[in-house]
C-alpha cells in the first residue's frame, strides 16, 4: 500500500478542554500523490487544519490526543517513528507555510539566518547554506536578494514575507508542502502571484502540495483534487471539477451556493440628491500621504463600496469621515453641513446618524457586557431616542431584525459564533436609527456561508429602512453582490468610480482591470479561462 506519497488513514484527533472533549477530526482518510495538489476545504471549526498539524507533529499533547489512525509517508507510519526520526521528516520531507507570515517568521532574526537555519538544521554546512539561501531568495523573486538576506521580517511587505516563508520551506526540496491558508492575509493581486509561484515551484520540483483553505477560488485555481470538511468530518472528496459541478453532500452544495459574486448586480437610480458629499479629503501621517484628495457623493439609501488593496487609504477614509481621525483638508457635507467643521458638541449629536461596523466583532464588542447592555448602551449616551421603559422591548425587536432571538439578551459575546457576533454589532449600530452605516471589512472575517447571510441582512436594512452604506472591502465578489456604486482606490487616490455594473462590466482603468483579473472564480473552468487570458495578456 505504499503507492501514495501521503496517506492519512482513519485519523481521529480530540482535544481535552475545560468544557469537555472536543472531537476536532473524526475518522478522516485522504491521500496525496507526488506532483499533485490536494485542497482541504472547510470553514472555521471544520477541523481542516488539524490533520496537517498532526502530520507535522505540531499538536500539543496534552490537551490534544490522536485517538486513532495512521499517517503514512511512503507507507511508513509517522506516528510510530522515534521523536528524532520524526523531527528529521519535518523540513526535509514535509515542509509547511502558514497564513500570517509576519507572526510565523521570528521577528528578531534576519530572513537570511532563518532560511539558512532550515538547511543547517538538517546537516548542511554553513557555507553551503549561505549560498543556497541566496539562491532560494532569488528564486522566489525577492528583489535585491543579497542585501535582503540581512533584513528582518518587518522590513518586507506581506507578499514578500510569504515568499520568504516559501523559500524557507522549499530549502531542502521536500516531497510534500503543506500550505495552511497561505494567501488569506494577502491582497488579491499578491495572492495571484504567490499561488502562481507555488505552482511554478511545484512543476520544478515535482513536490506534492496540500493546501488548506476556506476559499473556493483558491481551490479552483491551484488544486487537482479537493476534500471538503465539516465539523471534523470529511463529507466529500473528488476532483475539483467533479466536486464543483456535481456536489453530492448538502454542505458542499451550500458552500458553493454561498460563494459571492454570482447574483444579479444592483442597478441604482440615476436621479437623487446626495446625502453625503465628500470633497478633496486629504490626510497625512508624518510624511506619508494616506489620502491624496478623495471626492465622492453618496445618495440616500444607497451603498457605496470602497475597494482597494492594503495601503490604499480606504480605512483611513472611514476614520476621517467619522472624525475618529482629523482630516488635514477637504469637506464632507452631510445634509448640507460640513462634518469636518462641526463643533465637538454638534458632532456628538450627529453621531447617531452615522454608525460604524468593524471587521472583528470579537474585538469590537466589550466581552464583559451582555447583548442587552451592548445594544442599549447607545440610548444611555443619546437619551431621548427610546424611553427607558421600552428598552427591553426595542432590543428584542432589533435582535429579531438582525436574525437573533430576544432570549439572547442576557448572554455575553463569547457565547456566540463569529457571524452572530457581527449581527450583534449591527443591532448595536441600528439602535440609534442611523442614516449611514460605515462597514469597514465587516464581513471579511466571516465564513463564506455566514458572509452571505450578513450581506443579505445589510441589503434588507438598506431596502427597508433606507440606510445608506459605505462598504469598505478588499473582496470584490462580495462588493459585486451588495454595492450600488463602487469606488476603486490605490495609494490614497481614487482610481475609478462608477456604478457596480460599470466597474465590473466595463472597467476603464488598468488598475481596476488588474484587480478584477486577479480575483479567483470558484468555477474551475471559468478560472482556467481567466488564467489563460491573463497569461495571454502578460505575454
Partner 1 sequence: MLSFIRKRAIASLISLVGLIVMVFFLSRLTGDPAALFLPVEASAEMKEQFREIHGLNDPLMVQFGRYVGDILTGDLGQSLRKARPALDVVLEAFVWTLWLAVITMTLVTVAAIVVGSLAAFRSGGFFDRFSSMVSLIGASVPDFWLAIVAIVVFSIQLAWLPTSGTGSIHHWILPISVLFVRPFGIIVQVVRGSMISALSSAYVKTARAKGVKSGPIIFIHALRNAMLPVITVIGDQAASLLNGAVIIETIFGFPGVGKLMIDSILQRDFNVVLAAILVTAVAIFLMNLLIDLTYALLDPRIRH
The CB density around residue 359, as the number of other CB atoms within 10 Å, is 19
Query: Which residues between 50 and 69 bind partner 1 (CB under 8 A)?
Result: 56-58
Residue 139 binds to partner 1 (criterion: CB under 8 A): no
Q: Binding partner 1 by CB under 8 A: which of 104, 292, 323, 335?
A: 104
Q: Binding partner 1 by CB under 8 A: which of 87, 249, 335, 491?
A: 87
Residue 78 binds to partner 1 (criterion: CB under 8 A): no
Question: How are the residues of the chain apportioned to helix, strand and coil, as percentages rounded to the nearest 5?
Answer: 40, 25, 35
Q: What is the DSSP string of 345-367?
A: HHHHHHTTTEEEE-S-HHHHS-T
What is the C-alpha to C-alpha distance for residues 194 and 173, in angstroms, rounded to an integer? 18
Q: Which is nearer to partner 1, 102 or 350 (CB)?
A: 102
Q: Binding partner 1 by CB under 8 A: which of 13, 39, 40, 95?
A: 95
Collapsed DSSP state (helix, strand, coil) of residue 273: coil
CB 180 → partner 1: shortest distance, Å?
10
Task: Judge if the upstream peptide bond of residue 135 is cis by omega within 30 degrees of 0.
Answer: no
Residue 287 binds to partner 1 (criterion: CB under 8 A): no
CB 88 → partner 1: shortest distance, Å?
6
Q: Candidates 113-121, 184-192, 201-209, 528-536 — which segment interacts with partner 1 by CB under 8 A?
A: 113-121
Q: Crossing angle, helix 418-430 and helix 371-381, to 10 degrees?
A: 20
CB of 353 within 8 A of CB of 434? yes
Q: Could you say which DSSP state residue 285 is in? A: E
Residue 107 binds to partner 1 (criterion: CB under 8 A): yes
Q: Candidates 90-98, 213-221, 281-289, 389-397 — which segment interacts with partner 1 by CB under 8 A?
A: 90-98
Binding residue count for partner 1, defined by CB under 8 A: 31
Residue 105 binds to partner 1 (criterion: CB under 8 A): yes
| Residue 319 bridge partners (DSSP) | none
What is the C-alpha to C-alpha distance for residues 362 and 5, in angstroms, rounded to an integer? 40
Query: Which residues between 2 and 61 bind partner 1 (CB under 8 A)?
Result: 56-58
Q: Which is nearer to partner 1, 26 or 151 (CB)?
A: 151
What is the C-alpha to C-alpha distance for residues 32 and 9, in angstroms, rounded to an integer? 12
What is the C-alpha to C-alpha distance for residues 491 and 136, in angstroms, rounded to an integer? 31
Residue 106 binds to partner 1 (criterion: CB under 8 A): yes
Locate 111 and state its grid cell. Answer: 530572513
Residue 249 binds to partner 1 (criterion: CB under 8 A): no
The size of the chain, in residues, is 539
Residue 100 binds to partner 1 (criterion: CB under 8 A): yes
Q: Binding partner 1 by CB under 8 A: which of 8, 11, 73, 89?
A: 89
What is the C-alpha to C-alpha distance for residues 135 and 168, in angstroms, rounded to an integer? 11
Q: Binding partner 1 by CB under 8 A: which of 1, 108, 273, 345?
A: 108
Residue 71 binds to partner 1 (criterion: CB under 8 A): no
Binding site for partner 1 (CB under 8 A): 56-58, 87-92, 95-96, 98, 100, 103-110, 117-118, 121-122, 152, 154-155, 165, 168-169
Amino acid at each position: 500500500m505504499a503507492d501514495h506519497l501521503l496517506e492519512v488513514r482513519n485519523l481521529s484527533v480530540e482535544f481535552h478542554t475545560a468544557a469537555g472533549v472536543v472531537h476536532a477530526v473524526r475518522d478522516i482518510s485522504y491521500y496525496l500523490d507526488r506532483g499533485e495538489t490536494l485542497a482541504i476545504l472547510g470553514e472555521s471549526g471544520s477541523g481542516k487544519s488539524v490533520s496537517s498539524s498532526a502530520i507535522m507533529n505540531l499538536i500539543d499533547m496534552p490537551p490534544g490526543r490522536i485517538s486513532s489512525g495512521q499517517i503514512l509517508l511512503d507507507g511508513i507510519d509517522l506516528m510510530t517513528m522515534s521523536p528524532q526520526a520524526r523531527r528529521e521528516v519535518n523540513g526535509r520531507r514535509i515542509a509547511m507555510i502558514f497564513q500570517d507570515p509576519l507572526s510565523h517568521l521570528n521577528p528578531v532574526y534576519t530572513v537570511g539566518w532563518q532560511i539558512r537555519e532550515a538547511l543547517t538544521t538538517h546537516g548542511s554546512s554553513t557555507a553551503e547554506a549561505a549560498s543556497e539561501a541566496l539562491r532560494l531568495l532569488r528564486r522566489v523573486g525577492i528583489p535585491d536578494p543579497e542585501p535582503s538576506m540581512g533584513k528582518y521580517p518587518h522590513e518586507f511587505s506581506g507578499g514578500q514575507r510569504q515568499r520568504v516563508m516559501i523559500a524557507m520551506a522549499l530549502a531542502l526540496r521536500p516531497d510534500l508542502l503543506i500550505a495552511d491558508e497561505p494567501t488569506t492575509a494577502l491582497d488579491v493581486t499578491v495572492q495571484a502571484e504567490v499561488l502562481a509561484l507555488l505552482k511554478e515551484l511545484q512543476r520544478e520540483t515535482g513536490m506534492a502540495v496540500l493546501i488548506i483553505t476556506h476559499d473556493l477560488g483558491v481551490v479552483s485555481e491551484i488544486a487537482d483534487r479537493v476534500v471538503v470538511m465539516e465539523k471534523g468530518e470529511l463529507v466529500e472528496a473528488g476532483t475539483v471539477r467533479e466536486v464543483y459541478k456535481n456536489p453530492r453532500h448538502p454542505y458542499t452544495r451550500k458552500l458553493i451556493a454561498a460563494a459571492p459574486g454570482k447574483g444579479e448586480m444592483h442597478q441604482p437610480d440615476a436621479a437623487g440628491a446626495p446625502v453625503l458629499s465628500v470633497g478633496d479629503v486629504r490626510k497625512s501621517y508624518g510624511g506619508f500621504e494616506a489620502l491624496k484628495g478623495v471626492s465622492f457623493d453618496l445618495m440616500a439609501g444607497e451603498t457605496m463600496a470602497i475597494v482597494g488593496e492594503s495601503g490604499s487609504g480606504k480605512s483611513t477614509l472611514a476614520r476621517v469621515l467619522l472624525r475618529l481621525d482629523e482630516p488635514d483638508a477637504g469637506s464632507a457635507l452631510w445634509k448640507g453641513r460640513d462634518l469636518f467643521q462641526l463643533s465637538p458638541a454638534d458632532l456628538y449629536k450627529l453621531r447617531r446618524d452615522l454608525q460604524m461596523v468593524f471587521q472583528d466583532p470579537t474585538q469590537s464588542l466589550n466581552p464583559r457586557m451582555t447583548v442587552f447592555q451592548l445594544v442599549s448602551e447607545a440610548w444611555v449616551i443619546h437619551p431621548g431616542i427610546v424611553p427607558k421603559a421600552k428598552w427591553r422591548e426595542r432590543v428584542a425587536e432589533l435582535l429579531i431584525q438582525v436574525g437573533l432571538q430576544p432570549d439572547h439578551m442576557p448572554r455575553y459575546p463569547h457565547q456566540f459564533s463569529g457571524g452572530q457576533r457581527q449581527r450583534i454589532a449591527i443591532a448595536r449600530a441600528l439602535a440609534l436609527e442611523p442614516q449611514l452605516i460605515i462597514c469597514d471589512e465587516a464581513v471579511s472575517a466571516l465564513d463564506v456561508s455566514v458572509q452571505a447571510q450578513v450581506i443579505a441582512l445589510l441589503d434588507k436594512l438598506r431596502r427597508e429602512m433606507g440606510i445608506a452604506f459605505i462598504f469598505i472591502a478588499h473582496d470584490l465578489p462580495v462588493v459585486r453582490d451588495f454595492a450600488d456604486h463602487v469606488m476603486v482606490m490605490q495609494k490614497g487616490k481614487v482610481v475609478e468610480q462608477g456604478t457596480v455594473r460599470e466597474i465590473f462590466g466595463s472597467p476603464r482603468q488598468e488598475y481596476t482591470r488588474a484587480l478584477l483579473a486577479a480575483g479567483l472564480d470558484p468555477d474551475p473552468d471559468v478560472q482556467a479561462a481567466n488564467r489563460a487570458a491573463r497569461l495571454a495578456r502578460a505575454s
